[in-house]
Structure formats: C-alpha cells, structure tokens
Amino acid sequence: MLWYKSWLETRWRFFIGVALLLCSAWMTVFSYPYVLKLMPLVPDVEGELGRQIRDAVELTRTFGGFVWSEWFRQNHSQLITLFAILLGTAGFLSRSGGASFTLSLPVSRQRLVAVRASAGLAELFVLALVPSLVFPLLAPAVGQTYGVGAAIVHSVCVFVASAVFHNLSLLLSTMFGDAWRPLLIAIVVAIALSVVERLLHVSGVGVFRVMSAESYFRHGELPWAGLLASGAVAAALYYAAVANLARRDF
C-alpha cells in the first residue's frame, strides 16, 4: 500500500520529467548538424571571452564533446536537479495531503520514509538513465556514434549527485507542513551550490562537477571522491529525515 501511495503521489512528476528529458535529449542530437554548419562563422575574439568561445568550439568538433557540453554539463544536470527536488518533496506533514491518515497506518515512521525515499530514488534513476540512452540510439541518424558505456557511466554520476537534492527535499518535507517551502528552499540551495562551484572553480567533490563527470569525459577517470562524498551526504540527509519524522509529536 505504501509503495502504491508513493507512486500515486509522484507519478505525474515522473511522467512529466521523462517527457521533458526525452524531448531535450532528442533536440540535442538533431541540433548537432546545425551547430557544425555554424562553426565556421564563429568570430575570433580576444581575452577570456574568446578563450571560452574557443573551448566551446573545440568541444563541439566531436559528437561526444557536444553531448557532454550541452547535455551532461548543462541541460540534463539542470533538469534532473529540478525533478530530483520535485520527486523528493513529500507531504508528510501536510493536512491536505492525508498526512494524518498516513501516519496512523500500522507501519513505523522509519518504513514510511524508507518507502517514500526508495520510490523517489527509483524514479530518479530512470530519469537519469533512460534519456541518456537516446544518444547511442539516435546518433547514427545524424551520422555519428556514441557509446552505451559512456551514457551509462555519466547517468550513474548524475543519479548519485542528484540524490543529494532528492534527499534534501525529503528532509525538508519532515520539517515543514506544506509542499512549497521544501521545494523552494531546495531549489535555492541548488542554485547557491551551482554559483559557488562556478565562482570558486570547485573541482572533484563539487556536486555539479560530479554530476557532469568532467574528469571521466576528459581523462577517462571516474570522480570517485565526489561520488563517495555525494553518496555520504545523500545517506546523511536520508537518516536525518528518518530521525526528524520519528521524533515529531503529532
């Protein structure tokens, strides 16, 4: 019953996420030929801006570089973060969401959080993996190839890093009685982390650096330190959510 209830609560967020991510991946694949045609028109600019433009042009010379730059570093990371937060937001304390009925069921609060977290993370894994498989499937349509192994490795990195935001919104849902505050706070935290990582050039363990798996793309090395750190933070947030809901007095 708890699994089915969790599915009912999150199914439309999940379906919308699948649809948006699949469309975004499809558009990324079929935009590549047009990007190649525009490359000769890129102006030669001096300074830092010129360096960034040249780096972007170098990346788009290969289909793999284009996919990493446009998808794993940008579109996928941004969308998966949003849907991780949406899937993790649970109405544990919401009066309008039937919280009183749920908490009165003959199950422990630990099991309640565990089922809700497991269902959300399972959906998040699908969102991380399935859209990325579009690239090896559709790359031949634009005369290119993309490895299934690379898509899977990047997807795993995306999943582990985005689980941090899923469990953060889960924890916040045990602290506030409405769905909006956990959602908005988690989004603000995600934006702040992204800005800090960019300004301080955080590498290795930065959650968005892990999500993009830049070290794997450039050097073929998995960001093990970042993966372990993200997994540890996600686990800590989950146990904090369990403890917080268990000790609340209703």
CA distances from 62 to 26, 32, 57, 74, 181 (A): 17, 10, 10, 17, 42
Q: Which residue has the tokens 């102006």?
A: 43
pLDDT value at residue 143:
92
User: Which comes out higher in pLDDT, residue 234 or 42?
Assistant: 234
Average pLDDT along the chain? 86
| Three-class secondary structure of residue 211 per DSSP | helix
179-211 per-position pLDDT tens digit: 889 999 999 999 999 888 887 766 666 899 999
Other CB atoms within a 10 A radius of the CB of residue 142 amount to: 14
pLDDT value at residue 151:
96
Q: How confident is the model at residue 145 (pLDDT cuts 50, 70, 90)?
A: very high
Residue 94, judged by CB atoms within 10 A of its CB (0-12, 13-18, 19+), counts as middle
130-144 per-position pLDDT tens digit: 999 999 999 999 999
Do residues 138 and 26 lie in contact, with contact meaning Cβ atoms separated by under 8 Å? yes
H or E element in which residue 157 lies? helix 148-173
Rounded CA-CA distance 149/221 in Å is 13
pLDDT value at residue 196:
87
pLDDT value at residue 51:
54
pLDDT value at residue 39:
65
pLDDT value at residue 249:
59
| Three-class secondary structure of residue 98 per DSSP | coil
Q: How confident is the model at residue 1 (pLDDT cuts 50, 70, 90)?
A: confident
26-76 per-position pLDDT tens digit: 999 999 998 887 765 555 555 555 555 566 667 778 899 999 989 998 999
Nearest alpha carbon to residue 69 among 20, 148, 135: 135
Chain CA centroid to CA 53, Å: 26
86-137 per-position pLDDT tens digit: 999 987 666 554 554 455 555 677 888 899 999 999 999 999 999 999 999 9
pTM across the whole model: 0.90
Rounded CA-CA distance 118/89 in Å is 13
Q: Is the pLDDT of residue 152 over 90?
A: yes
Domain limits of the chain? 2-247
157-180 per-position pLDDT tens digit: 999 999 999 999 999 998 888 888
Q: Which residues contact residue 126 at a Cβ distance below 8 angstroms, ignoring those fewer than 6 apart?
A: 14, 18
pLDDT value at residue 82:
96
